[in-house]
């Protein structure tokens, strides 16, 4: 699996869950914390590195038990740009690309992640994003050539700003099912997504 040794994945797991009004990453989903479900379903064997950037000890423990690297985020602002920068600092210098993922898409499947990885490897200079009917969602792969721009994001910005600056590089990979792209912002979202679980 030579190609796998060239790819990294960063989980952005430092959000403050303001709209959820509690720590959504630890919220129950099918009897387990949602972050545990997401990390446990992830096909880590497809990547050289899996890095989890988090401020939450329980998420850090879950990640470490799976053999993933943990980057502690001590930033108190909840700024996504800081989280991205901390994750990129831990990426192997030989990685040709990095996938950014989140811990609040509990129905995301290994199959779709595999398809996204294959698309990026076929077009390693591209930005490859999982989506539905051409509309971009998460996760998203970025090539090494854009790591500098990602690391230099100003406060309050995310990878979407880099994608907007390079629309010609974007390739959208169709998710196996639209529900895989659904994320949790509010408690009602969690209840709705849980009812969709197969």
Distance CA 179, CA 63 (A): 24
Rounded alpha-carbon distances, angstroms, from residue 104 to 6, 39, 141, 181: 26, 10, 18, 10
Which pTM value belongs to this model? 0.92
Per CATH, which fold does 2-196 belong to?
Spore Coat Polysaccharide Biosynthesis Protein SpsA; Chain A (3.90.550)
What confidence tens digit (pLDDT) does each residue in 67-107 have? 999 999 998 777 899 999 999 999 999 999 999 999 999 99
β 28-29/127-132 pair status: unpaired
CB 75 within 8 A of CB 14: yes
State the Cα–Cα distance between residues 67 and 158, nearest whole angstrom: 27
Binned at pLDDT 50, 70 and 90, residue 195 comes out as confident
The residues pairing with 142 across neighbouring beta strands, listed in sequence order, are: 98
| Mean pLDDT value across the chain | 92
- Tokens 């230099």 sit on residue: 152
pLDDT at 92: 95
**Four-point Cα dihedral 13, 123, 170, 181, nearest 10:** -40
Strands (E), the chain: 7-13, 28-29, 32-33, 49-54, 69-72, 97-102, 127-132, 135-143, 170-174
DSSP 153: P
Q: What is the pLDDT of residue 1?
A: 39
- Each residue of 18-64: pLDDT tens digit? 778 789 999 999 899 999 999 999 999 999 999 999 999 999 999 99
pLDDT of 2 over the 50 cut: no
Q: Which of 60, 34, 23 has its CA nearest to residue 183?
A: 34
Top-ranked range on mean pLDDT: pick from 16-25, 124-133, 178-187: 124-133
Residue 25 contacts by C-beta under 8 Å, 6 or more apart in sequence?
Answer: 13, 15, 17, 33, 34, 35, 54, 56, 59, 103, 104
Residue 34: strand, helix, or coil: helix
Q: Show me where the domains of the chain are located.
A: 2-196
């Amino acid at each position: 699996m030579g190609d796998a040794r060239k790819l990294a994945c960063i989980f952005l797991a430092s959000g403050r869950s303001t709209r959820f009004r509690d720590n959504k990453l630890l919220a129950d989903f099918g009897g387990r914390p949602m972050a545990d479900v997401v990390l446990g379903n992830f096909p880590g064997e497809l990547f050289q590195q899996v890095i989890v950037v988090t401020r939450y000890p329980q998420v850090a423990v879950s990640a470490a038990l799976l053999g993933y690297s943990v980057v502690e985020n001590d930033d108190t602002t909840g700024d996504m740009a800081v989280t991205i920068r901390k994750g990129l600092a831990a990426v192997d210098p030989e990685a040709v690309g990095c996938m950014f993922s989140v811990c609040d898409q509990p129905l995301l499947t290994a199959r779709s992640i595999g398809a996204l990885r294959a698309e990026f490897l076929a077009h390693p200079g591209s930005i490859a994003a999982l989506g539905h009917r051409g509309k971009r969602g998460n996760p998203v792969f970025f090539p090494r050539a854009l790591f500098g721009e990602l690391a230099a994001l100003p406060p309050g910005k995310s990878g979407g700003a880099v994608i907007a600056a390079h629309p010609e590089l974007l390739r959208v990979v169709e998710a196996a099912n639209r529900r895989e792209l659904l994320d949790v912002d509010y408690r009602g979202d969690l209840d709705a997504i849980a009812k969709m679980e197969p």
